[in-house]
Structures are given as structure tokens and as C-alpha cells.
């Protein structure tokens, strides 16, 4: 079966997380160090739990690679859990509001939240980051860069021009921030917000932004609803635990403006000071659409913002009900972060990379990376005539 496909397996406190990625072309160089660096970024950030000090994620490859290159066969990866205590952990007597506990128990017809929460846990996203790093290495070979940063946390907002203002130093700025934020002035108030929430035994959510640079136009489809890239990316981002909303470009603000203030004028690249894009003779004078029109990329930067709810495990507890007695109780507390929005931004990069790589290979395909490159180069020649 053609196409990029992936799956993960494993529980939060099980022995390991496992991932399989199918459909990558053969002959692609693959950096294990790069994957480990992405995994380390996921574990960073102010307000994380002690679990991040226990785990030290390093990817292990079991199939699909040889001498640092992909073989074109399914790639099998694993992450070892140091906190592999699943057989020793108690079964919570009450479901936690905001988690999958109750709905999952009702789905299975059991009173065992442990049977649900071990898989519903965000720990699973570590494997998505590993798989996504493989996908983004494919995209980077074609000049496509994926970059996420936190734009709001606990009601504290970074300045709107932080991404553009950081310029070529954005990676350095993000690395120096405890919150993966590009606005240095926002770090202190974000830290204070986390400290206040910790003192109140509460949690905080926020918003992160994913920006993709260097995308060629026409990735995705207008002809098939399931292949529209806007829906595919939104679904991928909302599949991350705790995500509650996604917007592209102006997003919901587009609904509040007249069309004359929403739609991006088309101009010749280089005309009236408009800088050229990597591909084609045209570009948009603005990017209110966030790099997506008609379910396809436009060639402009793809901009998605994702809202994450506060983590539902609170030290103070939230009202719940005991499974056996039916009595009102405070939900059982289990080790948890105060906030993990910076970590979620790394997962956001990963799922965007996986979806974009799938759409990219649908267009350019190839059993070997040289085939993909040849198809891409032929398309570039045709672009000059459009």
C-alpha cells in the first residue's frame, strides 16, 4: 500500500513506547542525534513534573535503516521507559475530570481508570516526536523548515511580531527561553504565572504557533475533501492530548472582518517590493490565509495556532465521584505538570511534519529519495511556466 503511514504502541508506565513508520523512500540520510535532540526539547520547559527528570529519551532503531540511511522498508523505533511501573501502580478509585478516565471506562464497561489512562497519557507523544523527526528530515532535504513557539501561556501573551522580529536568530531565542517563547520580555511574567498556579495547586494552558517555511504551492488537494490539507493538519494537531482549537492565519478573526480585509491580493513576485518566493512567479501581498487556500499550500509561510487547555490533574483536586460508593470526592492526584505548553509545541511540530511529509510524498512520490528529487525538480521546471 502506497502512502506514508505511522502508528504508535505502548503505555505511559509500560516497558517502552514503539513506533512504526511506513512509506519513507529509500536512500534518505537519517540523523539519530537529531531525533534525540527533538526528544530532549519535548522534555524541557518550566513547570514540568518530576517524570521528566526520570526519563531520558533516546531513540532506538530496530528496522528500516542501514548505515545511517533509510531502506524503504517500514522503520521501527522504540523509546525505553525508565519508570516502567505499570504492574505496581494502584487503580484509581475515581475518574479525573478533564481526562479520558470516565468516558474510557464507560467505553470499555469497566471501573478501572488505569486501563484507560496509561494509553491516553501524553507520554505517548514522545514517540510521535521521534517519528515526526524522521519526517521533518525528509522535508528539510527539500528546503522546508518547521518551527513552533509559544505565543501565550496562562493569559500572558508574547508580542505579535515575535517570530518576524527574531529573524534568523529564532532558534537561539527559543532555546534561551524557559517557555520556548520568542519574546524575551514575556518569560518573566510567564514564570510568575506558573509559580502562582503552582502555589494555588492549579494548572495553566496556553497557545503555541507552528510556522512552516519553504513549502511549495499545491501540496494537498482541492478535489477530494479527505485530502484537503487544512483539514488534515487540523485533525493532526487536535489529535494531541489537551488541544482544544486550531486556527490558520487570521483564523477566527477572519469571521469578524469584511472580505476586503481578509483575502490576500495576488501580485507578481518581486513587484512593488514584494520579495520573491522559492517557487513560481506569484505571491500574496499578505498572508491572512496562513499559507493555505482551497485545501492546498500557497507557497507562503504556513501559520497554525493551537490552543491547549490547562492540564486536568490538579493537586487541589476537582470534584468527582467514587466508582464504588457513589460518594462525592476530590479526584485522585497523580504526578503531573503545572503546564506543558512548550512541550506541546514540539509535538505540534512533529504531527505537522508527519502530515506534510505524507502530502509531499503523495505529490512527488518515489521508491528512492533520488526518484523523489527527480519528480520535485521536474515540477519546479513546470512551475516557471505557470
For 79-94, what is the mean pLDDT? 90
pLDDT range class, residue 2, cuts 50, 70, 90: low
Among 145, 189, 147, residue whose Cα is nearest residue 166? 147
Structural domains in the chain?
5-249+289-383 (3.60.150.10)
The upper half-sphere exposure of residue 374, i.e. CA atoms within 13 Å in the direction of its Cβ, equals 7
pLDDT range class, residue 14, cuts 50, 70, 90: very high
Q: How far is CA 242 from the centre of its chain?
A: 12
Tens-digit pLDDT profile for residues 260-280: 999 999 998 877 666 667 788
227: alpha, beta or left? (left if phi > 0; alpha if psi -120 to 50): alpha
Strands (E), 115-248: 145-153, 156-157, 206-213, 243-248
For 338-348, what is the mean pLDDT? 96
For 53-63, what is the mean pLDDT? 83
- CB distance 349 to 147 below 8 Å: yes
Specify the pLDDT at position 52: 55
- CB distance 112 to 91 below 8 Å: yes
For 284-290, what is the mean pLDDT? 95
For residue 59, pLDDT beyond 80: yes
Task: Evaluate if pTM is beyond 0.85.
Answer: yes
Exposed e or buried b for every residue in 266-278, given b needs 16+ CB within 10 A? eeebeeeeeeebb
- Cα–Cα distance for residue pair 49/38, rounded to 1 Å: 18
Amino acid at each position: 500500500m502506497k502512502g506514508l503511514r505511522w502508528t504508535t504502541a505502548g503505555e505511559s508506565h509500560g516497558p517502552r513506547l514503539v513506533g512504526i513508520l511506513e512509506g519513507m523512500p529509500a536512500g534518505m540520510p537519517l540523523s539519530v542525534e537529531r531525533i534525540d535532540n527533538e526528544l530532549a526539547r519535548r522534555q524541557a520547559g518550566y513547570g514540568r513534573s518530576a517524570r521528566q527528570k526520570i526519563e531520558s529519551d533516546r531513540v532506538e532503531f530496530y528496522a528500516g535503516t542501514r548505515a545511517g540511511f533509510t531502506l524503504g522498508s517500514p522503520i521501527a523505533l522504540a523509546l525505553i521507559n525508565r519508570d516502567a511501573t505499570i504492574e505496581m501502580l494502584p487503580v484509581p478509585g475515581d475518574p479525573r475530570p478533564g481526562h479520558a478516565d470516565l468516558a474510557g471506562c464507560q467505553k470499555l464497561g469497566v471501573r478501572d481508570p488505569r486501563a484507560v489512562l496509561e494509553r491516553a497519557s501524553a507520554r505517548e507523544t514522545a514517540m510521535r516526536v521521534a517519528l515526526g523527526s524522521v519526517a521533518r528530515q525528509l522535508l528539510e532535504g527539500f528546503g522546508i523548515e518547521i518551527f513552533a513557539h509559544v505565543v501565550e501561556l496562562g493569559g500572558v501573551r508574547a508580542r505579535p511580531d515575535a517570530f518576524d522580529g527574531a529573524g534568523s536568530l529564532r532558534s537561539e531565542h527559543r532555546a534561551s527561553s524557559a517557555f520556548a517563547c520568542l519574546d524575551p520580555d514575556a518569560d518573566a511574567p510567564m514564570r510568575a504565572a506558573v509559580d502562582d498556579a503552582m502555589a494555588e495547586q492549579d494548572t495553566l494552558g496556553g497557545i503555541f504557533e507552528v510556522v512552516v517555511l519553504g513549502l511549495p504551492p499545491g501540496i494537498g488537494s482541492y478535489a477530494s475533501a479527505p485530502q484537503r490539507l487544512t483539514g488534515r493538519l487540523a485533525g493532526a494537531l487536535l489529535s494531541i492530548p489537551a488541544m482544544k482549537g486550531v486556527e490558520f492565519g487570521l483564523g477566527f478573526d477572519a469571521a469578524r472582518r469584511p472580505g476586503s480585509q481578509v483575502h490576500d491580493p495576488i501580485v507578481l513576485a518581486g513587484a512593488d517590493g514584494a520579495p520573491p518566493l522559492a517557487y513560481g512567479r506569484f505571491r500574496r501581498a499578505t498572508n491572512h490565509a496562513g499559507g493555505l487556500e482551497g485545501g492546498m499550500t500557497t507557497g507562503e509561510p504556513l501559520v497554525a495556532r493551537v490552543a491547549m487547555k490547562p492540564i486536568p490533574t490538579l493537586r487541589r483536586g476537582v470534584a468527582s465521584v467514587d466508582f464504588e460508593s457513589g460518594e462525592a470526592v476530590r479526584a485522585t492526584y497523580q504526578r503531573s505538570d503545572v503546564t506543558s505548553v512548550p512541550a506541546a509545541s514540539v509535538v505540534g511540530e512533529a504531527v505537522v511534519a508527519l502530515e506534510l511529509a505524507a502530502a509531499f510524498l503523495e505529490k512527488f512520490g518515489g521508491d528512492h529519495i533520488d526518484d523523489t528529487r527527480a519528480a520535485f525538480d521536474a515540477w519546479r521546471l513546470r512551475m516557471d511556466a505557470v
